Structure 1
Amino acid sequence: MRATPYAYEARFRTRTPLFADEGRPDMARDSDPVRVRRAYDPVEDDDGTRILVDRLWPRGVSKERADIDLWLKDVTPSDELRSWYHHDRENRHDAFVERYRAELDDATHTEAVDRLVDLVREGGPVTLVTAAKDVADSHVPVLLDHLKHVMKRT
């Protein structure tokens, strides 16, 4: 596993808390405002608002099984960036993180991130759902880190 500044990438599992600055970052607690779950995992009663954070619908997962409350495509990397990254993940990870962070600061992404922040602040758990096979090596840790910083700023 490559070393990164993201607490969320270390030992990433199916549910990861947003603010895991203390303790084990791979263990979600009921008090954690944001959790992460793969689209292929069973839905749990305590998932709260389930938000799909992938640009494409998870292959082979019905809408009923996914039980998605909101699909925020605009918090995901652009098609171009996603395709570019998937062609050489090992050598492009650091550049991907930098480029995705820049995308998250553009107007389209900012509006969607603000909507996500509002949902987290409304209370109750929020579960980000992704089909990524390797969540730790996907866009999700970057999104979580960005969300954490936005929430601290505002």
Structure 2
Amino acid sequence: MTRAAHRPTVRRIYDAAEDGDGTRVLVDRLWPRGVSKADARVDEWPKALTPSTELRRWYHAGEGTYEEFRERYETELAGPDAAEALDGLRGLVRKGPVTLLTAAKEPGRSHAQVLVELLTR
């Protein structure tokens, strides 16, 4: 696999947009509470890349470890719709800076970080 030209950044959607963000991609299934669409400055919202509702609930309930979550999420991303959306995201990353946006309280231990790892392998 060809390495991406840029490494995506992960930021919380509650943080103000910055000039260097490049393409801003929301990677959460649900729109974050309290954030207006105008303030969020989201360019893309590929819902096919988001963890399933079942997986998200399982992980947030504390029923498994981050490593287990990552494995299950990567399995979901192998599905046809998710794989196509992931290829689209790879294309964006090759073109320029990309910021993955999430409402997760710990973005470094979230699905957004899993996406970064997949995009930079």
Structure 2 counterpart of 1:133? 105
Aligned residues: 118
C-alpha displacement of 1:46: 1.2
Taking the aligned partners of 1:35 and 1:50, their CA distance within structure 2 comes to 10
Letter in 1 for 2:82: H
- Please, which of 45, 53, 59 is the counterpart of residue 33 of structure 2? 59
Equivalent residues of 2:6, 2:94 under 8 A apart: no
Distance of 2:58 and 2:116 partners within structure 1? 21
Q: Which whole-Å CA distance do the structure 1 matches of 2:66 and 2:97 have between them?
A: 29
* Runs (5+) with no aligned partner, structure 2: none
Computed over aligned residues only, the root mean square deviation of the Cα atoms, in angstroms, reads 1.7
> Equivalents in 1 of 2:66, 2:98: separation in Å?
27
Aligned positions of 1:48-127 closer than 5 A = 48-88=22-62, 91-122=64-95, 124-127=96-99
Provide Cα deviations, 1:54-88, integer angstroms capped at 9, x if missing partner.
11111100001100011011111111111111111
Corresponding residue SS for 1:51: strand
Look up the match of 2:18.
44
Structure 1 gap segments, 5+ residues each: 1-18, 20-30, 150-154
Q: Which has the higher contact order (CA 8 A, sep 6+)?
A: 2
After the TM superposition, list the runs of 4 or more consecutive aligned residues in structure 1 that deviate by more than 3 angstroms: none
Instruction: Please report the TM-score for the alignment, with normalisation by the length of structure 1.
Output: 0.71
Structure in which a larger fraction of residues adopt helix: 2
User: Percentage identity across aligned positions?
Assistant: 53
Look at both structures and tell me which one has the larger radius of gyration over its CA atoms. 1
